[in-house]
Amino acid sequence: MPETKNKLVVLIGANGMLARMVLEKAPAEYAIIPFDLPVFDITDREKILAKMAAIKPDVILNCAAFTNVDGCESEEALATRVNGDGPGYLAAAAKETGATLVHISTDYVFDGCKREPYTEDDLPDPQSAYGRTKLVGEQAILDSGPEKF
């Protein structure tokens, strides 16, 4: 019987609610390496690139975000670094290592007026700092020229 290789997944934001659910539900064929603050800072581009180059994951799963919607209003610069710049850095690392980037966004990038579910093809129109910063992250990923995301 041929030997099977586990998919190596780096889980960013591993201490958050979404990531905990991912860890609970992840299939056994995935070897998951969890990262979160204070050891792993999504806003530190050079450390992200170096760490991902050393690990060479198959998948980078980004569950990290500044999710305090009210806090984003008063700390939009920090929210932009976490929700905007960080995903772009992860996309660059994914591109350099050949990993697939899985990034979790939010419906806050839309205005909330649509009566049916939003799709990736709908035009964004964020109404809050949280939505604006998450949209910056989506654009940073697209601007990085990702091959697998």
Residues catalogued as catalytic: 130
With contact defined as beta carbons under 8 Å apart, do 97 and 57 qualify?
A: yes
Tokens 């009566």 correspond to: 115
Q: How many residues does the chain have?
A: 149
CB atoms under 10 Å from CB of 8, counted, come to: 16
For residues 40 and 43, what is the distance between their CA atoms, to the nearest angstrom?
9
